[in-house]
DNA sequence: CCAGACGTTGTT
DNA sequence: GTCTGG
DNA sequence: CCAGACGTTGTT
DNA sequence: GTCTGG
């Protein structure tokens, strides 16, 4: 699954890679946790990209208590089109969650060992996301929130964890944003195309297997809170 | 019909 | 053990 | 995901 | 809001 990730890349580089305007600067994040703001790109009114921060943990529009979002941090790619909590967002409100690494915890007889997973050159990437707007009936304020899709881990990663976030590389971000959810065939194609198994993520290189080495400083043990 | 959920993860 | 909050 | 809580009473 | 379970 995906319960923690990083975003250390400078906004200017993200803006370039995702061809979207971003704020000039925001803090480096080594340990993004559920309920915290995450950097996201979604389709704006005119269809152009729009950068925003969204609370991690999707709060469905019909929720009467925003705390339900804490249990909606991930959505299974296999079933997201049908689930009541996600269906509407899947059809109309997909987004890109900006990241450059994520953590998975492997259970061992001694406890849990965190692994840090990132691309070979440490490039940033997008995670497939859905977003919603929830209006607080108390004060009429709105909360934008999101969830991250997960899929079965590629064979090489199963020793660490059976499921991983859907990582969008190359042209997959654009396809994720524009795919027609009604078209089951195309949905199949996109979900397969964005599965890391077909991409260049190498889970058995030192990036993954030696979290003690070379990783950002929050690894092993994970630092509490961001840098 | 109403009431209550609406989700994911794990399995040395 | 299980749930909540971050 | 992890860390931390997990409960009630009261009105000196 | 919409679906499931009783």
Four-residue CA torsion sign, A81, A57, A6, A205: negative
Q: What band does A160 get if pLDDT is binned at 50, 70 and 90?
A: confident
Whole-structure pTM value: 0.88
- pLDDT above 70 (res A165): yes
Residue A155 host element (H or E): none
Which nucleotide across the nucleic acid strands is nearest to A36, CA versus C1'?
C6
Residue A138: CA count within 13 A, CB half-sphere? 4
Residue A126, exposed/middle/buried by CB under 10 A (0-12, 13-18, 19+)?
Answer: buried
Nucleotide nearest to A161 (CA to C1'): B10
Give the pLDDT band of residue A208 (cuts 50, 70, 90).
Answer: very low
Per-residue pLDDT at A40: 98
List the one residue out of A72, A75, A50 whose CA is nearest residue A61.
A72
Residue A2 is among the residues annotated as catalytic for this protein: yes
pLDDT over 90 (residue A219):
no
Options A104, A132, A146, A218, the catalytic residue: A104
d(CA A133, CA A42): 13
- In this prediction, residue A43 carries a pLDDT of 96
Of A2, A49, A146, A218, catalytic: A2
- Write out the CATH class of domain A5-219: alpha beta
pLDDT band per the 50, 70, 90 thresholds, residue A203: very low
Classify residue A103 by its DSSP letter.
E
* Strand C-proximal protein residues, Cβ less than 7 Å: A 33-36, 57, 67, 70-71, 73
pLDDT tens across A61-84, in order?
Answer: 999 999 999 999 999 998 999 999
Average of per-residue pLDDT across A107-126 = 84
Distance A33 CA to C4 C1' (A): 14
Q: Is the CB of A159 under 7 A from strand B?
A: no
Q: Confidence class of residue A114 from pLDDT cuts 50, 70 and 90?
A: confident
Say how far apart CA A99 and CA A60 lie, in whole Å: 23
Residues A3-31 pLDDT 10s: 989 999 999 999 999 999 999 999 988 88
**Rounded distance in angstroms from the CA atom of residue A82 to the C1' atom of nucleotide E3:** 11
pLDDT at residue A103, rounded to an integer: 86
Q: Is the pLDDT of residue A227 over 50?
A: no
Whole-angstrom Cα distance, residue A94 to residue A90? Answer: 6
Give residue limits of the domains in chain A.
5-219
The fraction of chain A above a pLDDT of 70, given in percent, is 81
Is residue A104 annotated as a catalytic residue, yes or no? yes
Q: Are strands A49-56 and A101-108 parallel, antiparallel or unpaired?
A: unpaired
């Amino acid at each position: 699954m995906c319960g923690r990730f990083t975003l250390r890349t400078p906004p200017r580089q993200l803006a370039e890679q995702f061809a979207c305007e971003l704020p000039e600067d925001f803090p480096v994040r080594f340990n993004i946790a559920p309920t915290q703001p995450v950097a996201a790109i979604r389709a704006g009114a005119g269809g152009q990209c729009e950068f925003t921060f969204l609370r991690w943990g999707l709060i469905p529009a019909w929720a009467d208590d925003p705390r339900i979002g804490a249990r909606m941090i991930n959505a299974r790619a296999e079933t997201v089109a049908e689930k009541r909590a996600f269906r509407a967002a899947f059809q109309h409100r997909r987004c890109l969650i900006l990241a450059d690494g994520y953590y998975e915890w492997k259970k061992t007889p001694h406890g849990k060992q965190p692994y840090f997973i990132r691309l070979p050159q440490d490039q940033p990437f997008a995670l497939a996301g859905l977003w919603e707007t929830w209006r607080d009936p108390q004060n009429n304020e709105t909360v934008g929130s999101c969830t991250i899709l997960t899929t079965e881990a590629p064979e090489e990663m199963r020793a660490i964890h059976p499921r991983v976030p859907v990582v969008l590389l190359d042209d997959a971000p654009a396809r994720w944003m524009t795919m027609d959810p009604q078209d089951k065939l195309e949905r199949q194609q996109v979900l397969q195309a964005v599965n890391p198994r077909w991409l260049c993520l190498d889970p058995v290189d030192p990036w993954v297997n030696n979290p003690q080495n070379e990783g950002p400083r929050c690894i092993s043990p994970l630092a509490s809170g961001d840098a």
